[in-house]
Amino acid sequence: MEQGAPKGKLIVFSAPSGTGKSTIAKAVLGQIGELSFSVSATTRSKRPGEEEGVHYFFLDKKEFEELIEKGGFIEFEYFFGNYYGTLLDKTREAIDSGRHLLLDLDVKGALNLKKLFPLDSLLLFIRPPSMAVLQERLLQRDGRNSPGLQERLERAELELGYAEQFDEVVVNDDLEQTVTAVTGIIRKYLTTL
């Protein structure tokens, strides 16, 4: 993919599920006008409040697998029983037109993207203050009986082990402070290119 220098840059957020990356992304996108959210495709079902084409493109398994066959993804992963992937055409279109993208990817997707765009991506890892706080946030968001809660907590331990491979690490304790820190890191990256 790295043919010539793409004009737009890729900012990647990774964090264990429930840490707060979607919440932080929303606030950061409201503050940095030249940054757009990269909408991934997924086979997981929509959560209340999620919209097609805004939070994800919601595909069924067959549609997703057909797109894999056609080479439609820059990267994709399968976890929590579902596929998640970054769409090649949409990403190319954005960076070729000079738009910067904010991507919400799991740790493996983030590191794969860095290999494809070593000079044009910034990987930001967001840590929860503790596992106890992470569990509380997941319970608050998804409810005690949500499918995948235990799986998300187990995966969190694994994901935390990848933090040191990221360009920047921020702890999401106080939300306002985190948003200020993350906005500062991204602005600095975009202006010192």
Ligand X SMILES: Nc1ncnc2c1ncn2[C@@H]1O[C@H](COP(=O)(O)OP(=O)(O)O)[C@@H](O)[C@H]1O
Which residues fall in the annotated binding site for ATP?
Answer: 15-22
CB of residue 174 to ligand GDP, shortest distance in Å: 20
Could you say which of 6, 20, 109, 128 contacts ligand GDP (CB under 6 A)?
A: 109
Applying CB under 6 A, which part among 12-20, 34-42, 59-67, 180-188 lies near ligand X?
12-20
Binding mask of the shown chain, residues 132 to 171, with x at each position contacting ligand X by CB under 6 A: -----x--xx------------------------------
Decide: is 90 part of the binding site for ligand GDP (CB under 6 A): no
**Following DSSP, what letter does each residue of the chain receive, concatenated?**
--SS--SS-EEEEE--TTSSHHHHHHHHHHH-TTEEE--EEE-SPPPTT--BTTTEEE--HHHHHHHHHTT-EEEEEEETTEEEEEEHHHHHHHHHTT-EEEEE--HHHHHHHHHHSTTSEEEEEEE-S-HHHHHHHHHHHH-TT-TTHHHHHHHHHHHHTTGGGSSEEEE-SSHHHHHHHHHHHHHHHHH--
Give 120 or 159: the residue with its C-beta nearer to ligand X: 159
Q: Is 6 in the site for ligand GDP (CB under 6 A)?
A: no
Site for ligand X, rule CB under 6 A? 15, 17-23, 137, 140-141, 172, 175, 178
Site for ligand GDP, rule CB under 6 A? 17-18, 22, 40, 44, 75-77, 84-86, 104-106, 109
